[in-house]
Chains A and B, each alone.
Chain A
């Protein structure tokens, strides 16, 4: 059974640019959630995708958007990057919306 994988591991961007982060869910999981973890804080819920539809969103602006594909992998897109977007971005998958979530290793994004 393959766990949750994320790419890339690290990324450096400049303010104003756009970024796409990718996540492959664990085998058999159809739900993917994205979190932002700033330094010294716990993960903050960005949004969740269930069967290719957005299924809930946290307190993040519209420049944070996502997609889920038929194979249940997912992308997180962030437009007009700001310095405060620098964080670890975590993806978690689950077998359905209310089930236990299993996390990937994360993508470390640095915005200069």
Chain B
């Protein structure tokens, strides 16, 4: 059962513009959401997270928005840089030990 979905397999944006990566979930019991990015031949790297009691969390160029009523999560990167090109995974946690991942979105930032 795929409880976390990233419906866009890929996204291409121009350097300096905003990148918006989207994620939908079905399980209302999820209490914590995370974004990871993954470069080839490396493990996923933690990027930013948000608790279900918040609707926004910001860290530098990265902002995560949570819309609980729509069961929707998004990651905004602004301005986008070529080094941001990677696969981005949305993840949601149910209990402390079980993290569910989406299939990932490959972001390409063109110079």
Hey, which bits of chain A sit against chain B, CB under 8 A?
4, 33, 35, 40-45, 48, 50, 55-56, 58, 90, 92, 97-98, 100-106
Contact = CB atoms under 8 A, between A and B. Distances in A.
A41 B103 contact: yes
| Interface residues of B, dominant DSSP | strand
A87 B97 CA distance: 21
B47 to A, nearest CB: 10
Contacts of B36: 103
Nearest to A49: B97
Given A41-B103, A42-B104, A100-B49, A105 B97 contact: no
Nearest to B31: A98
B100 A45 contact: yes
A62 B96 CA distance: 22
A101 B99 contact: yes
B45 interface: yes
Contact of A97 (B44, B49, B96): B96
Nearest to B43: A103
Nearest to B6: A42
A100 B96 CA distance: 10
A30 to B, nearest CB: 13
Contacts of A105: 41-43
Contacts of A43: 44, 89, 99, 101
Interface string B70-106: 0000000000000000000101010111111111100
